[in-house]
């Protein structure tokens, strides 16, 4: 009896696997997203960095280019009186090439891990990105199609 329950459970698990595991959805259109990057403080000469914000990115699948605009906040992870500055706000704008596979999203030559949410008509409606971004920082992005 236990063996047949295991076989049924295994079969249902494999049958219910998400379609994104075997297919590559298109990333196209306007996505609203949040990002967070944290850089380690390596030694006493580096204070580390935290960088986060909100952005809108238009992915143009016909040209494989993206354009991002938004606002961010960054600053040192370690702050002390008379030492490093606190947080600052900034406006961002970036245009870069992109490509994706079933498990990765490459932006401007930097490869991130990606998982996709719902896919409608072949287009990812949401995605989550994690990886080592510019300057060796741990980077995470959550994006939702508008």
How many domains does the structure of the chain reveal? 1
Q: Which domain holds residue 60?
A: 18-145
The model's pLDDT over 67-124, given as tens digits with 9 standing for 90+, comes to: 999 999 998 877 777 666 778 999 999 999 999 999 999 999 999 999 999 999 999 9
Can you read off the two tokens belonging to residue 53?
A: 């914000």
Quick check: is 119 in a domain?
Answer: yes
Quick check: is 27 in a domain?
Answer: yes
Quick check: is 34 in a domain?
Answer: yes
Count helices and strands in the chain by DSSP H and E runs: 1, 10
- Dist CA 61 CA 64 (whole Å): 5
Say what the pTM is.
0.79
Half-sphere exposure of 8 (CA within 13 A, CB side): 5
The model's pLDDT over 10-53, given as tens digits with 9 standing for 90+, comes to: 444 444 444 445 689 999 999 999 999 998 887 666 678 889 99
Q: CATH number, domain at 123?
A: 2.40.160
- Dist CA 1 CA 36 (whole Å): 49
Tell me which DSSP letter residue 10 carries: H
pLDDT value for 45: 60
């Amino acid at each position: 009896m236990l063996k047949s329950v295991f076989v049924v459970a295994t079969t249902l698990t494999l049958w219910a696997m998400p379609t994104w595991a075997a297919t590559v959805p298109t990333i196209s259109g306007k996505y609203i997203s949040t990002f967070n990057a944290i850089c380690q403080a390596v030694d006493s000469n580096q204070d580390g960095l935290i960088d986060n914000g909100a952005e809108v990115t238009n992915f143009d699948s016909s040209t494989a280019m993206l354009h991002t605009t938004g606002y961010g906040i960054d600053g040192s992870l370690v702050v002390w009186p008379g030492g490093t500055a606190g947080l600052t706000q900034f406006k961002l704008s970036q245009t870069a090439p992109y490509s994706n596979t079933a498990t990765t999203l490459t932006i401007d030559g930097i490869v991130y891990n990606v998982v996709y949410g719902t896919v409608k008509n072949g287009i990812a409606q949401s995605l989550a990105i994690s990886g080592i971004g510019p300057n060796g920082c741990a980077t995470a992005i959550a994006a939702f199609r508008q």
